[in-house]
Structure formats: C-alpha cells, structure tokens
Structure 1
Amino acid sequence: MSQNSIEMIGEQKSRPLHEQIKDKILQNIIVGDWPEGFSVPPEVELAADFGVSYGTIRRAMDDLTQQGVIMRRRRTGTIVTGRTPHHTISRFYRFYRLHTLDGRLINTEARVLKVEHAPPTSEEAEELRLSETDIVIRIKRLRISQGRPVMLDRCVLPLKLAPDFPTDAQVAPPMIYKWLLDQHGLQLSAVRERITARLATAEDCALLELEPSEPHAMLDISETAYDSRNQPLLIMRHTAVTGSHCYVNEIR
C-alpha cells in the first residue's frame, strides 16, 4: 500500500475505502495537480499507486463520473472536466467553493490572525442560542491562494463548546470544523448560508491587500453551522474579493 493511501485511510478509518480514494482524487483536482483537461492515469495504474484493488478504484471513478468531475472518452481516456464537485457536508472540512473568474476551483491555505474571548453581540447570542453571560471565541483568519489573500474569515464559536480552543493564533487549528469533530466529537450536520454584497471597508482593504483609494465590491457569505441535534455550533462570516474570484454553488 502506498504512503498516500496509508495517510488518507488513517484520517477517516470509519469511511468506506472507495470514498477515501475518491476524496484523495478530488484533492488532486481541487489543488490543481489535475487541472481541467488533465488525462487521468489508467485505473489499473491508480490502483497500484494507491495500493488498493481495481474494484475500489472503479467505484471511486464511477462516483466521480456521476458527479461530473471526470468524463470518460472512448479514444482519449478519462479527462478532468473542471466542474465543481458535489458540495456535501464532508467538503466543509477541507475545501471551499471559491473559483477564479474563468471557473477554476481553487484551494486556499487558512492563516489564523487572531483569537480572543468576548461576550456575544445580541445578534450572535440569538443565533447561537446563548445567554448574555456566555462567552464566545472570536477567530479571524485569512485564506491565501497563490501567495495572495482572497478571503477574510470571522468565526464566532461558543466557549462552552470548545474551552480548550487555543488562544495563540500561531497554534490555532486552521480547519475549525475538523478540529471540533476530532477533539469534541461535534459533527457538522447542516449549514445555512446567507449571501450579500457590499463595498470594502478600510480593514478589508488592509487585510486583503486592496487599494484603499478605490471602491471594491465584496461578497459576504454568512453561514451558521448546526450539529445533528439542530443545535448551532458556530457562525462563520466569509468576505471574498470579487475582482478576481467568484463563489460557485452547483446544485444537481
């Protein structure tokens, strides 16, 4: 079995093997290792690379074909289509639906800037079902793509759900949903999104490296995440630049 498959399987032992393989292939596509038009290696070769059976690879590739992520052609083989993968709950743990204006899905690196404890605002308390005496963790981070910031995230997490969340930005986990699952067993089950547009503020310009003397259209994506009991877990507010990127939501 290859090193890649060992690492991947260790992360999600409870999931079927073909699902783990599918996620690994998706990661190659999302991070750009397999760009649009890329000719995917033969399935026998993939099976050897991942150290799994041909049948496992075949199931993973069938799923990706049904999702429209790859396309089988009689003469040229299997090609990456460049379409967005299904955006399931599991994708929230790793990827985000930010694309370049020409439609390419990008991968971003999350960089935590600040972590602090504070009382919730009245709106946050209502949305997270907190009392006025509760404390929340505020997390501010940037998403970096190809060395440039493309999105600013502001997260509000009830302290009582994660009292051990690091306050040092240098060691704070960049993948918050996954950390909540791994450390506290808090399973993300639903996400409600609201999307609005506005002009960039001075803080937006400073953090996202935008020219402050010019107007910039920003996209605000506000999401509230819920657990399996429909209890709110956290609020995440994303602010994305629109001059070079867009947000894609593909429904099938």
Structure 2
Amino acid sequence: MVSRSAEVPGVGPEGLPVPLYEHVKRQIAEAILIGELAPGTVLPGEIALATQYGVAVGTIRRALADLTAGGMLMRRRKTGTVVTGRASQHGLRFFFQYFRLQGADGSLLQSEAEVLSVAIEPATTAEAALFGVPDAEPLLRLHRVRRVARAPILHSRIVLVASRIPGFPLKRTKVPALLYRHLLEAYGIRISAVREKVAAELANNEDCRLLKLTSPSAVLVINEEAYDQTGALAICSQHRATTANHHYSNEIR
C-alpha cells in the first residue's frame, strides 16, 4: 500500500470543514477501485494506517467503519480488516469519481474531461420550476466532453444554481475535473440521491461533431437529477454517449 498523507480538508458553506475521515475514506476507496488494493488484501492495523495517513487513530477507525458498512471492507477475526472480493463501483459515496460507462469487459474507465464552455445564464421557466427558484434566476451552465484513450465517448450539459456555488471558476481551464467532489469539498454539497432517465436516440449534428460519429448513429441519452443531503435538486444534467465500445452500468447496492 502506497504511503500517503490525507489532504487538508476542504471548507463548506459557513466555514464548516469537510471531515478529515472523508478524505481518508476516499483515498482508501480509490485504491480499492483502481486495483491498488486487491481483493483479499489485509490492511495494516489502525495505528500503522494512522501513521501512514498522518491522522489520528479515531479518524482511521471512522473511515474504516464507513467502508466496511459500504461493503468495500470486512472484518475477520484473527486476520483484521480485509478488502472484499467485490465492492459496488457506483455507490453514492463514490459517485463523484466514476461515471456510468464501462469497458466491454466491465472495467472502470480512466477518462479525461475537457470543458467546452462555462457561463452564467438566466433560468428558463421550466428550469426555475425544477430547481424551485424564481424565473430568470442565474444558473451556471457547463458543457464538457469526456475522452477515454483520447477518443471522445460522452458529452454533458450540466446546470447548477449559481447562488449555491459562489466563486465557482468561470474560466474553462479552471473548472474542476471532478465536479461532485468539488461541490462537497468547497461548498459542503453532498450528492445523496440520483434519479436517471435513460433513452436511445439518433445522434444529432452536435453529437456527430463532438463524438466523431457518422450519421446515422445511435447515442445513449442519460437525463440526470442529483439531489443533495437536504433533498434539494443540486444538479440537472444531460449526458449523450456513444456505446459502440462501451456499455452503461447501473449497480444498486
């Protein structure tokens, strides 16, 4: 296991920090998800882990407890804490890290995101009703494309209420690659529920241009609503993807 230290906690609204155990938990979870910690791996003891991550034993204990409750770890008598044989890849705890397209063999995909545009624009009547805000309320709009091995496979239009994310970068090159993680660490907005509607459509001109498709081609369309810990709609998105060499996975645990 690679030695590392936990990141300095982010600060949410009203100056409330994101708990340090969340950072430790995320780092251990990422090591499991990318295969750095293989199934059956026995983790070092709590004191050794606390030294590795530069945190208190109580912080490690809370992170391990959450990961155990989520099924990524298990406790074995006389053995210790063990990485389980199969952990949910799309639990909401880690929804910020991985998107729903996988390789044909079911593998997680390492992708790169490029922001095509970022702007503040007024809400339409329909958007205002959806977010529960006044008509013409300023909304942050992002448009980005994701690539795997330099090949574009998905582009997304993402909408948030601007007043909930003051100071969000408005330069394309400054927009965080992991949006959900940034919302948690910078604003204390935790995605706690996601509703998706999935359909197949013929690719439009924009799809063909951004995803390098020929017409006619089919695309997978995912309309997504993400809700925060208070039950309020935090993000409204539409993702349009080619599944020629990938498939959509929705794992419920």
**Fold in common (TM above 0.5):** yes
Deviation sequence 1:24-61 (CA, Å, 0-9, x none) = 2432344x4549x87747757x9586578999989978
How far apart, CA to CA, are the structure 2 residues paired with 1:168 and 1:175? 15
Q: Which runs of 5+ in 2 are unaligned?
A: 12-16, 76-81
What amino acid does structure 1 have at the position aligned with 2:229? S
How far apart, CA to CA, are the structure 1 residues paired with 2:190 and 2:65? 28
Alignment correspondent of 1:239:
240
Q: 3-state SS of the aligned residue for 2:208?
A: helix
Number of residue-to-residue matches in the alignment: 243
- In percent, how many aligned pairs have the same letter? 34
Kindly report which structure 2 residues correspond to 1:119-134, keeping only aligned pairs within 5 A, or say none: 119-134=122-137
Higher alpha-carbon deviation: 198-207 or 55-64 = 55-64
Q: TM-score, normalised by structure 1?
A: 0.73
Q: 3-state SS of the aligned residue for 1:5?
A: coil
RMSD: 3.8
Aligned residues of 1:222 and 1:236 also touching (Cα < 8 A) = yes
How far apart, CA to CA, are the structure 1 residues paired with 2:28 and 2:130? 37
Higher relative contact order (CA 8 A, sep 6+): 2
Alignment correspondent of 1:85:
89
Q: 3-state SS of the aligned residue for 1:183?
A: helix
What amino acid does structure 1 have at the position aligned with 2:30? Q
How far apart, CA to CA, are the structure 2 residues paired with 1:229 and 1:79? 32
Change (3 A) 1:203 1:226: same
Alignment correspondent of 1:148:
151
Q: Which runs of 5+ in 1 are unaligned?
A: 73-77
Structure 1 position 140, deviation (Å): 0.4
- Whether 1:215 and 2:239 are equivalent positions in the alignment is no
Q: TM-score, normalised by structure 2?
A: 0.73
Aligned residues of 1:67 and 1:86 also touching (Cα < 8 A) = no
Deviation sequence 1:144-178 (CA, Å, 0-9, x none) = 22222222111111222234222211112222233
Structure 1 position 86, deviation (Å): 5.1
Q: 3-state SS of the aligned residue for 1:131?
A: coil
- Whether 1:166 and 2:169 are equivalent positions in the alignment is yes
What amino acid does structure 1 have at the position aligned with 2:217? P
How far apart, CA to CA, are the structure 2 residues paired with 1:185 and 1:22? 16
